[in-house]
Structures are given as C-alpha cells and as structure tokens.
Amino acid sequence: MGISCVKGCRLVWVIVAIGVGVCCHRPPNTSRNVTIEFEIKPKPVRVGPVVICFTLTDAVNHPVTGAQIEVEGDMSHAGMSPVFAQANEVQAGHYESQLSLAMAGDWVILLHGALRDGEKLERQFDVRDVRPN
C-alpha cells in the first residue's frame, strides 16, 4: 500500500488518541449529598396510572423538605411520548406524583428540579418490565 511511514504513524496516533479518549470516558459523577429512596406502585407495574413515591434525605438522614421536583417518564426507545408530572410533598421529605405509563416495556423515570436552597437535583431510575394490561 502506498502510504509513507510518517503518515501511517500519524494516522495510528490519531486512532489511538481517539480510542483512549473514548474508552477512558466515564459519565460525570452525579451523586450529591441527597439520598433518594425511590418506589413505584402498584407492583408489578402495569400499563396505566402509577404512583411514583420518593423520599429525600440529607447526609445526616434528615428529610429534605421544600424541593420542587418534576417527574418525567421515558421509554427506553427513542420516539415515544414522554410523560410528565409535578411531585407533591405529602410528608416531610416524602414526595409523590402520578404518571400514566402508555406502553409496556422498560421505562426510565427521571427526577429533575431544585432543592429549597436552589441546588439542582437530577436522578434517573429504571423501571423495567412494565407489563401490558
């Protein structure tokens, strides 16, 4: 093949650099001081209305109150309608919201919003194997 040694080495370096960059990539650490205990009801989860419950606690296990959290449900396949709902604080640090899951399969529930002090909160929970009715 008509390639010079220098050009070949350069090409290999570029490929190696891209490969190293890609392979060393890790998603950013999203952990915060807030711990979330997540639950979805009823179980097993079926297509239709579900209740998303979650409890926020801080580093010393005190409930985190006053958070404004939006709950988003997405299918694992692109192109499906996401569902949204606002979470209500039903007890100190305990939040609930209702979603209607439109399709059987795997869902991903995203919690996004802000704590009372303005700190952002983003978490993701997998809800696998939602059964058809």
Partner 1 sequence: MNQASIPSEENLDPTPFDLMQVPVLGPLFRWRYARPFLQAPLLLISVAMILHGLFGPSLAPKNLATTLSWLHFRGILVLVLLCAGNFFCLACPFMLVRQVARRFFRPRFTWPRALRNKWVSVALFVLILFTYELFDLWSSPWWTAWLIIGYFLSVLVVDGLFKHATFCKFVCPIGQFNFVASTLSPFEVKVRDQDVCTRCLTKDCIRGRRDATSDLVVIRGCELALFQPRKVGNMDCTFCLDCIHACPHDNVGILSRLPGTELLGDSLRSGIGYFSRRNDLAALVVVFTFGALLNAFGMVSPVYAVENWLGKVLHVSHEAPVLGLIFAAFLILEPVLLLGSAGLLTQAWGGVQRAFLPLVVRYSYGLVPIGFGMWLAHYGFHFLTGLYTIIPVTQNFLASLGFPFLGEPRWTLTGLPANAVQVIEIGFLVLGFVGSLAVTHGLADEDFPANALRAFIPWAVVCAVLFGASLWLIFQPMEMRATLMSG
Binding site for partner 1 (CB under 8 A): 1-3, 7, 11, 22, 25, 27, 72, 74-82, 84, 103-106, 108, 110, 124, 128-129, 132
How many other CB atoms are there within 10 angstroms of residue 46's CB atom? Answer: 14
Q: How far is the CB of 62 from partner 1 (least distance, A)?
A: 31
Output the DSSP codes for 13-44. HHHHHHHHHHHH--PPP---S-EEEEEEESSS
Of 36 and 80, which has the nearer Cβ to partner 1? 80
Q: In the numeric block, which tokens belong to residue 115?
A: 């704590």
Of 74 and 89, which has the nearer Cβ to partner 1? 74
Q: How far is the CB of 116 from partner 1 (least distance, A)?
A: 23
Of 25 and 120, which has the nearer Cβ to partner 1? 25
Give me the half-sphere count of Cα atoms (radius 13 Å) on the Cβ side of residue 87. 29
Of 105 and 113, which has the nearer Cβ to partner 1? 105
Q: How far is the CB of 111 from partner 1 (least distance, A)?
A: 13
Contacts of 125 (CB under 8 A, 6+ apart): 38, 108, 109, 110, 111
